[in-house]
């Protein structure tokens, strides 16, 4: 459930409080609900691409199997209220482009909360389309290097018809066209690579190389404040 930035949407730390863990599970449940709704009410992950991703993300975050099954059942039976997805756009301090994905049953409340954080952080709340053109939806697959070199993984990624690859220390980020995402992911897995995360993200077309330490700190606090909102699913920026 993390965006394309240095900040993780879901913090995977052993010291996470139960309340925060519960909030994380709520976000994951909401993601499952949205996936079922947008998938025409289909509750089978094998037949609903977005649901499969939502379930995989829930499992990665150690969400109990019964919680996942309960969330899917509620969604397929229509017992989820008026939950819907809303996209917010704007600029963080320093002119960094920001996209916020939220899932809410009360758009007025969520919009007010998001706008409040923008205002308090010195950010600019934008109109729909104001920054979305600076991002492209792509598949992102995170692969653990383990005993393989970057060249080894690069060769497999090319054979899998991936579009781009980035070295990330002990991991490698592999990007694909959304329509080819499942094929690329399955090819990488069948080739013996360990996939630690796979999701559809908004990848910046052009990144902003802001190096101002004070502004970076403000941006980090701004992103963290947005991510702490119960209704916010993902936050993306074009910060390099």
Instruction: Express each pLDDT in 205-233 by its tens digit.
Output: 989 988 888 999 999 999 999 999 999 99
Same domain, 122 and 31: no
193 and 168 in a common domain: yes
Asked whether residue 102 falls in the same domain as residue 220, the answer is yes
Does pLDDT of 14 surpass 80? Answer: no
- Kindly state whether residue 47 falls inside one of the protein's structural domains: yes
In this prediction, residues 122-148 reach a mean pLDDT of 95
Q: Are residues 139 and 197 in the same domain?
A: yes
Cα separation, 175 vs 160, in Å, equals: 11
pLDDT of residue 194: 96
Residue at 7 is within a domain? no
How much is the average pLDDT of 128-145? 96
Domain harbouring 40, CATH code: 1.10.10.200
Note whether 45 and 150 are same-domain residues.
no
Q: What pLDDT score was predicted for residue 127? A: 95
- What is the rounded average pLDDT for all residues in the chain? 88
- In this structure, is residue 176 part of a structural domain? yes
Instruction: Classify residue 160: in a domain, yes or no.
Output: yes
Residue 13 within a domain = no
User: End-to-end alpha-carbon separation of the chain, Å?
Assistant: 19
Query: For residue 11, is it within any domain?
Result: no
Could you tell me what percent of the chain has a pLDDT over 70? Answer: 90
pTM: 0.83
Domain boundaries, position 228 = 84-128+207-237
Number of domains comprising the chain: 3
On whether both 200 and 216 belong to a single domain, the answer is no
Q: Give the tens place of pLDDT for each residue, 54-110.
A: 998 898 888 999 999 999 998 998 887 789 999 999 999 989 999 999 999 999 999
163 and 221 in a single domain? The answer is: no
* Contacts of residue 182, Cβ cutoff 8 Å, sequence gap at least 6: 49
User: Would you tell me how many other CB atoms lie within 10 Å of the CB of residue 162?
Assistant: 24
Q: Are residues 199 and 212 both part of a single domain?
A: no
pLDDT at 82: 84
Judgement on whether residues 142 and 198 belong to the same structural domain of the protein: yes
Considering the domain architecture, whether residues 196 and 150 belong to the same structural domain is answered as: yes
Q: Counting runs of H as helices and runs of E as strands, what totals does the chain give?
A: 7, 8
pLDDT of res. 42 = 93
Question: Strands 194-204 and 96-104: what pairing?
Answer: unpaired
CATH number for position 172: 3.30.70.980
Domain assignment of residue 63, yes or no: yes
Residue 3 domain flag: no
Pairing of strands 96-104, 124-126: unpaired
Question: Are 199 and 211 contained in the same domain?
Answer: no
Pairwise pLDDT comparison (75 vs 112), residue with the higher score: 112
Beta strands in 54-123 (DSSP E): 84-92, 96-104
Do residue 119 and residue 212 come from a single domain? Answer: yes
């Amino acid at each position: 459930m993390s965006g394309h930035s240095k900040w993780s949407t879901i913090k995977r730390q052993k010291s996470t409080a139960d309340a925060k863990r519960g909030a994380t599970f709520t976000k994951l449940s909401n993601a499952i609900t949205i996936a079922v709704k947008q998938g025409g009410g289909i509750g089978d992950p094998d037949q609903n691409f977005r649901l499969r991703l939502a379930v995989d993300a829930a499992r990665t975050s150690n969400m109990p199997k019964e919680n996942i099954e309960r969330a899917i059942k509620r969604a397929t039976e229509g017992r989820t209220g008026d939950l819907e997805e809303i996209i917010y756009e704007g600029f963080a301090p320093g002119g960094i482009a920001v996209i916020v994905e939220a899932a809410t049953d009360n758009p007025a409340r969520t919009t007010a909360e998001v706008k409040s954080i923008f205002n308090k952080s010195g950010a600019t709340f934008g109109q729909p389309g104001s920054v979305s053109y600076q991002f492209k939806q792509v598949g992102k697959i995170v692969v653990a290097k383990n005993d393989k070199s970057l060249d080894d993984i690069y060769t497999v990624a090319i054979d899998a018809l991936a579009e781009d690859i980035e070295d990330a220390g002990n991991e490698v980020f592999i990007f694909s066209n959304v329509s080819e995402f499942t094929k690329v992911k399955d090819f990488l897995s069948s080739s013996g690579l360990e996939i630690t995360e796979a999701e559809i993200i908004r990848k910046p077309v052009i990144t902003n190389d802001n190096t101002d330490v004070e502004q970076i700190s403000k941006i980090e606090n701004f992103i963290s404040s947005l991510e702490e909102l119960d209704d916010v699913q993902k936050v993306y920026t074009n910060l390099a």
